[in-house]
């Protein structure tokens, strides 16, 4: 049971990292990036081909195979995702209409998924890549390995969380929220709306890549099924339920949606419900959940917190200065 | 001259929304821009502020040719605008609305948020103090931590004025600030316009409320059919045959002194 809990928490932690990246795009800036999961996949793929040894006789086909250590693989994955995010963002953000980005990123996600699952030389098609040794396992050993990896993921999650919070409270984050609320007005006050949106988009993509790299290093495999838009639904449900724009809310949402709802369903004995039925139930509850949240509590459980001024609103403070 | 507009034109598929418009606004001036609906006033504002690109003509701001510059660059030079509906950031607090207006893209560079924290904080602190003063001026101080979306129509306008004061531009283009507000509120708007002027900000005021225009503006431009047809004081415009004709019908009465 504890082992299962550790496993679930690792997945929650990694997905929370991705969700915080998504929150910077959607919650802070109002950019609906439906290809978030694609960047998780790209990050995972890049980390994999850098960390894996050359293909050799493994029967798999992939490029590079550098066999480089885990930290480098993670960093390169983030950089590649940032660069690809910048290219996609530069194209898709050229229109100021929010839904334009949603449509483009949705299409990109579908295209990439098709390419990944059919193009053998680069991605080994539908069978995916596997056989990656868990990082540092030769040092720390495989006993209790998951506990250690959970610790690593939580530390990285904490760093990402603090980074996102710092951004949110900073003048930069405030400008992003102004862009989200009314980009014309933001432009009228000297903000390069496109550039601000691009920055937020790139940061989110890099963080998604980080999540992907952590994920493949844990599972040791990368399967094209992980790139589908169903995974995006999980992300949307978690962020919308927890609270768009609120990073604590995002953590709570991911814990509830992935930790309780998704993984909880898998505890249902198979004589009640087969694995396929469980998967179907998970997808359906996510859909229903999303609709219910958006209808009854669009701000999520924990609404975005306003930045409260520390000084009391008395006239004296103003008149003294005047 | 602070703002010089020379032979500015805009055509939408053969329709002249603005044609050969030339005018100027000097520092410390409050210039009115009036005209019937569809005269092209908003198009002219969009052209000057950069929200639409001109088909022809030149916009000089403080001697710099900004005709091809995007809107946000013009704004950074000190050429601000408002919109017909008050456009404030609803899910930011009143204070935050003012802080965004006072901050600069330079301060918002990502690396600064991590590497020059204390400098950013100090600048923020100065802005906060000033923001509270400005909010107090508009009787909005007690609401400073409320989300701007909770404000009433009139208060939204006042917050917009407060935001302009925070940004300290050199010229502001006000697009019908009294639109959809009660007559009582429109006096308040008049005070707001004069307040901007006192703060050293030149104003180009587009307005249907001619009483408000007369009370605030030293010089008035009249536009009709995409062209500037007259310029002068309200007195002079009242005697101008072209202006009276452009305002034919019910609105003609509005031109007469009350």
CA A78 to the chain's CA centroid: 12
Q: Report the run of H or E that residue A117 belongs to, with start and end.
A: helix A98-118
Both tokens of A241, joined, read 């339920």
Q: Evaluate whether residue A197 is within a structural domain.
A: yes
Give the pLDDT confidence of A232-281 residue by residue, as tens digits.
Answer: 888 999 999 999 999 999 999 999 998 888 888 888 888 888 888 888 88
| Cβ separation B91–A166 shorter than 8 A | no
CB count within 10 Å of CB A78 equals 23
Q: Evaluate whether residue A318 is within a structural domain.
A: no
B69/A contact by beta carbon, under 8 A: no
| Cβ separation A171–B142 shorter than 8 A | no
Q: Evaluate whether residue A316 is within a structural domain.
A: no
Q: Evaluate whether residue A181 is within a structural domain.
A: yes
CB count within 10 Å of CB A86 equals 16
Both tokens of B230, joined, read 């007259």
Q: What is the mean pLDDT of residues A183-210?
A: 96
pLDDT interval class at A156 (50, 70, 90) = very high
Closest CA to B221 of B84, B65, B22: B22
Question: Across the beta sheet with B202-206, what order do the strands follow?
Answer: B79-81, B171-175, B202-206, B30-34, B219-224, B227-232
Least CB–CB distance from A313: residue in B49, B99, B144 = B144
Closest CA to A228 of A40, A8, A25, A24: A40
Pair type for strands B171-175 and B15-25: unpaired
Both tokens of A6, joined, read 């550790």
Q: Evaluate whether residue A138 is within a structural domain.
A: yes
Q: Report the run of H or E that residue B9 belongs to, with start and end.
A: strand B3-12
Scan for tokens 């693989």, then name that residue.
Answer: A73
Least CB–CB distance from A192: residue in B72, B88, B132 = B72
* Helix, strand, or coil (residue B61): strand
Domain range enclosing A162: 2-226
Q: Report the run of H or E that residue A193 belongs to, with start and end.
A: helix A193-219
Calculate the average pLDDT of chain A: 87
What ipTM does this complex have? 0.91
Contact B146, B94 (CB under 8 A): yes
pLDDT of residue A138: 72
* Helix, strand, or coil (residue B3): strand
Instruction: Provide the whole-model pTM.
Output: 0.91
Both tokens of A175, joined, read 């400008």
Q: In this prediction, what percent of chain A has a pLDDT beyond 70? A: 93
Which chain A residue lies closest to B166 (C-alpha atoms)? Answer: A189
Both tokens of A83, joined, read 């660069």
Query: Does residue B181 register a pLDDT over 80?
Result: yes
Which residues of chain A approach chain B closer than 8 Å at the C-beta?
166-167, 170-175, 177-178, 180-182, 184-193, 196, 199, 203, 304, 306-309, 311, 313-315, 317-319, 321-322
Both tokens of A149, joined, read 């990896």
Q: Evaluate whether residue A299 is within a structural domain.
A: no
What's the rounded Cα separation, in Å, for the pair B95 and B104?
16
| Cβ separation A182–B90 shorter than 8 A | yes
What's the rounded Cα separation, in Å, for the pair A32 and A268?
34
* Helix, strand, or coil (residue B10): strand
CB count within 10 Å of CB B36 equals 16
Both tokens of A245, joined, read 């724009």
Residues 92-121 of B with CB under 8 A from A: 92-93, 95-96, 99-101, 103-105, 107-110, 112-114, 120
Q: How far is CA A311 from CA A186, A315, A318, B124, B141, in A?
A: 26, 11, 11, 14, 11
Give the pLDDT confidence of A105-150 residue by residue, as tens digits.
Answer: 999 998 988 888 877 777 776 667 777 777 777 777 777 888 889 9
Backbone angles phi, psi at A206, to 5 degrees: -65, -40
Quote the radius of gyration of chain B (alpha carbons, Å).
19
CB count within 10 Å of CB A299 equals 15
Q: Evaluate whether residue A311 is within a structural domain.
A: no
Strand partners, B79: B171
Look at B143 and A269; give whichever has higher pLDDT. B143
Query: Does residue B255 register a pLDDT over 80?
Result: no
Best of B51, B69, B74, B103 to disrupt the A interface by mutation (most A CBs within 10 Å)?
Answer: B103
| Cβ separation A187–B128 shorter than 8 A | no
Total of domains in chain A = 1
Strand partners, B224: B227
Q: Evaluate whether residue A208 is within a structural domain.
A: yes
């Amino acid at each position: 049971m504890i082992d299962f809990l550790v496993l679930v928490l690792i997945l929650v932690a990694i997905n929370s990292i991705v969700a915080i990246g998504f929150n910077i795009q959607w919650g802070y800036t109002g950019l609906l990036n439906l290809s978030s999961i694609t960047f998780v996949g790209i990050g995972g793929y890049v980390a994999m081909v850098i960390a894996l040894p050359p293909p050799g006789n493994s029967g798999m086909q992939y490029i590079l195979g550098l066999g480089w250590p885990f930290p480098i693989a993670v960093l390169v994955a983030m950089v590649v995702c940032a660069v690809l995010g910048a290219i996609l963002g530069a194209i898709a953000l050229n229109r100021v209409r929010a839904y334009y980005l949603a449509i483009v990123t949705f299409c990109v996600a579908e295209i990439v998924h098709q390419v990944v699952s059919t193009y053998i030389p680069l991605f080994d098609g539908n069978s995916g890549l596997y056989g990656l040794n868990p990082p540092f396992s030769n040092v720390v050993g495989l006993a209790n390995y998951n506990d250690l990896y959970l610790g690593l993921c939580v530390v990285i999650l904490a760093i990402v969380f603090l980074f996102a919070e710092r951004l949110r409270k900073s003048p930069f984050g405030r400008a992003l929220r102004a862009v989200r609320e009314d980009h014309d007005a933001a432009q009228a006050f000297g903000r390069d709306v496109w550039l601000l949106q691009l920055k937020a988009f790139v940061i989110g993509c890099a963080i998604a890549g980080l999540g992907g790299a952590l994920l493949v290093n844990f599972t040791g495999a990368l399967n094209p099924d992980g790139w589908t838009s169903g995974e995006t639904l999980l992300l949307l449900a978690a962020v919308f339920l927890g609270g768009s724009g609120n990073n604590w809310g995002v953590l709570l949402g991911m814990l509830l949606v992935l930790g309780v709802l998704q993984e909880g369903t898998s505890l249902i004995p198979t004589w009640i419900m087969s694995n396929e039925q469980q998967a179907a139930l998970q997808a359906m509850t996510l859909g229903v959940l999303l609709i219910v949240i958006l209808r009854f509590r669009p701000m999520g459980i924990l609404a975005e917190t306003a930045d409260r001024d520390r000084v009391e609103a008395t006239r004296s403070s103003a008149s003294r200065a005047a | 001259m602070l703002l010089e507009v020379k032979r500015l034109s805009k055509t939408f598929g053969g329709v002249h929304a603005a044609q050969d418009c030339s005018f100027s606004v000097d520092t410390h001036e409050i210039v009115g821009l009036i005209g019937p609906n569809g005269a092209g006033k908003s198009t002219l504002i969009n052209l000057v502020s950069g929200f639409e690109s001109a088909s022809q003509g030149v916009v000089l701001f403080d001697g710099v040719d900004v005709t091809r510059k995007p809107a946000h660059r013009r704004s950074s030079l000190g050429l601000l605008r408002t919109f017909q509906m008050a456009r404030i950031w609803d899910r930011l607090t009143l204070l935050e609305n003012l802080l965004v207006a006072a901050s600069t893209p330079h301060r918002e560079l990502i690396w600064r948020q991590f590497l020059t924290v204390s400098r950013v904080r100090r600048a923020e602190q100065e802005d906060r103090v000033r923001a509270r003063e400005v909010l107090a001026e508009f009787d909005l101080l007690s609401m400073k931590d409320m989300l701007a979306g909770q404000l009433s129509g009139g208060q939204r306008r006042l917050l917009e004025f407060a935001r302009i004061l925070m940004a300290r531009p050199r010229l502001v283009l006000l697009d019908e600030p009294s639109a959809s507000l009660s007559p009582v509120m429109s006096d308040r708007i008049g005070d707001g316009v004069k307040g901007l002027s006192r703060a050293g900000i030149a104003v180009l005021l587009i307005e249907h409320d001619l009483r408000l225009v007369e009370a605030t503006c030293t010089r008035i431009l009249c536009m009709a059919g995409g062209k500037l047809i007259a310029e002068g004081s309200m007195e002079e415009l009242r005697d101008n045959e072209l202006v009276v004709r452009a305002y034919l019908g019910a609105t003609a009465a509005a031109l007469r002194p009350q």
